[in-house]
A = this chain, B = another copy of it.
């Protein structure tokens, strides 16, 4: 199974996720550029106090809501938002078809040596269980628990950043109201009224901006990436069970290819060569 690990390495080169980089840049340039074009200075929206209130309040609430391990995993997950490590489901399917063909020719038990070499822990566990003679029903039950477990784990950072996106605008408003209270108590000096209100409003800008330009999109991107990751596991599970049940490799391929998007299916057809469509 040297192919598999090669591919794994190739996909793990982890290019930049272009959309994430472009998106964040576009948002920041638009806001700061707009501010500059309107004649406002960048310094006027740089208020450390407002940043303290909004970031401290938001992450304080998030820590109170989540476990420490969740919080740390959520910060680490942000790296994934900017990496383009898309799971290559086409290669997963090709590997499974290879295994299915081998099982057909040399018997399922011949896959024992392959199972040892597989790098993906999920596929390895499924195949090892199959080698150990576990019956398909039990194997499916166990591996579906694994998938549910992976899903659970992937959901923690998604929920963390969604929560941050929920708390941050209201904490921003909290900061603004605190600022306005301060302004209102010092109405006697009207010359400072305007700049006081301006300072207060910066907290709102931080809260609303962080939520809508960072926290919520990050949560959404993580959800998309987790989904693609879990589909790969489902392909592996369906594939291993189909092999165990001795299904025709061509039918297995037809079934597994249904998990690919239309674009991926087209590439798949081409790379799979020509002999396939008629070879029943």
Contact = CB atoms under 8 A, between A and B. Distances in A.
State the oligomeric state as a number of copies: 5
A62 B217 contact: yes
B193 A181 contact: no
A44 B180 CA distance: 12
Interface in A112-136: 129, 132-134
A1 interface: no
Interface stretch (A5-13, A94-102, A103-111, A141-149): A141-149
Contacts of A68: 18-19, 22
Interface string A51-89: 011011101111111111111000000000100000000
A132 B277 CA distance: 11
B60 A23 contact: yes
B23 A61 contact: yes
Given A66-B19, A187-B193, A209-B174, A33 B60 contact: no
Interface in A10-34: 17-20, 22-31, 33-34
Given A38-B199, A67-B224, A184-B198, A60 B19 contact: no
A170 B208 contact: yes
A272 interface: no
B57 A30 contact: yes
